[in-house]
């Protein structure tokens, strides 16, 4: 397996800025696979015509160009490059039960969203754009909830599939997804099905045809100084029904205490963002007869931002499934410090968040 460099530590930005993504023309090999489903398939003077006389005033120097930042982390691009990539952003649907252990590749993700699925358990939507690891998984199926999660990033989803009603809705939303049978999606013989489907994103990325725009900034990125002081909060528990995700703050980052990830592949969160969301019925049941929930990731709700061992309360809003996510406090916009963020979509009804000092 190719050695990948360790994740760089977050670099402080001088202030919030939008990512600069300068697209260079490229010719890349299309991804032609049976498992790939494409959804949707002059001059002029003053009014008087008089020229201003030449003077001795010095000409002003051009304003320095803002450094490029990665859209899914807000971090500056190393080496003065730009954030354009020869591949789209990818979202890998990863199982989040004990059967998934050890999860692979999470430490290379830019951003992770945890969402409710049937039975009160959760599934992860892990975003990859900056770096594409060779082994990610175990890969599981999509949910209708993913439409609101994935669409703002214009991401391609790597999945084991979905119920027919979900596939129709995902296609109608214009989302591209890759499933089993595509190059780069494989079964690991050392694992038991269905928890043995894995993805080689490095291979998938080299085959991609960059037809979609670069992802927009997923959050409004800023610096730690942009976050109100809030209250001390070094521990939080996000309760989904039958599953609880627990985070503890130490040495500058948040650690998922009960993570199923391999010990050296755990996601280190610079920020944990908890959003209280409405959950409805997706309209069908799983093979075990459980109703399948659908997170309504649009509208408004309460938000809790955890950074630096402190917590700030605010609200979130999203005008539609494909719209960007915005955060506010009574004092104004709430910007997320640039870095690696884990978003908890905790049900407004039936879920809970417990905070400890």
Residue 226: inside a domain: yes
Residue 296: inside a domain: yes
pLDDT score for 232? 97
Q: How many Cα atoms within 13 Å fall on the side-chain side of residue 154? A: 11
Q: Which helix (H) or strand (E) holds 167?
A: helix 164-172
Express each pLDDT in 213-271 by its tens digit: 688 899 999 999 999 999 999 999 999 999 999 999 999 999 999 999 999 999 999 99
Q: Name the CA dihedral angle for 168, 174, 180, 182, rounded to a multiple of 10 degrees.
A: 140
Tokens of 157: 């989803």
Which of 19-33, 87-101, 291-305 shows the lowest per-residue confidence on average (mean pLDDT)? 19-33
Domain ranges, residue 278: 90-356
Express each pLDDT in 307-331 by its tens digit: 999 999 999 999 999 999 999 999 9
Number of domains in the chain: 1
| pTM for this entry | 0.82
Measured distance CA(219)–CA(153) in Å, rounded? 10
pLDDT score for 211? 62
pLDDT score for 284? 87
Residue 83: inside a domain: no
Q: Which helix (H) or strand (E) holds 329?
A: strand 326-329
Residue 44: inside a domain: no
Express each pLDDT in 173-222 by its tens digit: 999 999 999 999 999 999 999 999 999 999 999 988 666 668 889 999 99
Residue 336: inside a domain: yes
Domain with 212 in it: what CATH number? 3.50.90.10
Residue 62: inside a domain: no
């Amino acid at each position: 397996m190719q050695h990948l460099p360790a994740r760089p530590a977050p670099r402080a930005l001088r202030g919030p800025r939008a990512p600069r993504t300068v697209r260079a023309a490229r010719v890349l090999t299309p991804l032609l696979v049976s498992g790939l489903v494409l959804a949707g398939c002059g001059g002029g003077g003053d009014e008087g015509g008089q020229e201003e006389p030449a003077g001795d005033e010095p000409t002003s120097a051009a304003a320095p160009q803002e450094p490029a930042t990665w859209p899914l982390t807000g971090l500056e691009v190393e080496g003065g490059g730009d954030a354009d990539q020869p591949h789209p952003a990818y979202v890998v649907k990863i199982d989040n039960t004990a059967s998934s252990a050890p999860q692979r590749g999470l430490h290379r993700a830019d951003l992770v969203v945890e969402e409710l699925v049937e039975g009160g358990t959760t599934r992860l939507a892990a975003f990859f754009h900056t770096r594409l690891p060779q082994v990610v998984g175990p890969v599981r199926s999509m949910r209708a909830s993913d439409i609101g999660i994935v669409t703002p990033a214009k991401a391609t989803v790597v999945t084991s599939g979905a119920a027919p009603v979900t596939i129709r809705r995902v296609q109608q939303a214009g989302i591209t997804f890759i499933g089993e049978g595509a190059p780069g999606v494989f079964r690991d013989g050392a694992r038991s099905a269905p928890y043995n489907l894995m993805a080689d994103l490095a291979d998938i990325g080299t085959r991609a045809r960059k037809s979609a725009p670069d992802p927009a900034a997923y959050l409004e990125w800023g610096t730690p100084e942009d976050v109100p002081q809030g209250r001390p909060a070094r521990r939080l528990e996000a309760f989904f029904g039958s599953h609880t995700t627990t985070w503890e703050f130490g040495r500058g980052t948040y650690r998922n205490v009960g993570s199923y990830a391999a010990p050296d592949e755990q996601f280190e969160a610079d920020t944990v963002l908890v959003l209280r969301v409405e959950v409805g019925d997706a309209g069908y049941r799983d093979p075990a007869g459980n109703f399948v929930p659908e997170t309504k990731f649009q509208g408004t709700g309460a938000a809790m931002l955890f950074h630096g061992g402190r917590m700030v309360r605010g609200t979130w809003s999203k005008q539609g499934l494909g719209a960007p996510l915005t955060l506010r406090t009574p004092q104004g916009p709430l910007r997320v410090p640039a870095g690696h963020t884990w978003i908890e979509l905790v049900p407004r009804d039936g879920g809970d968040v417990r905070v400890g000092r």
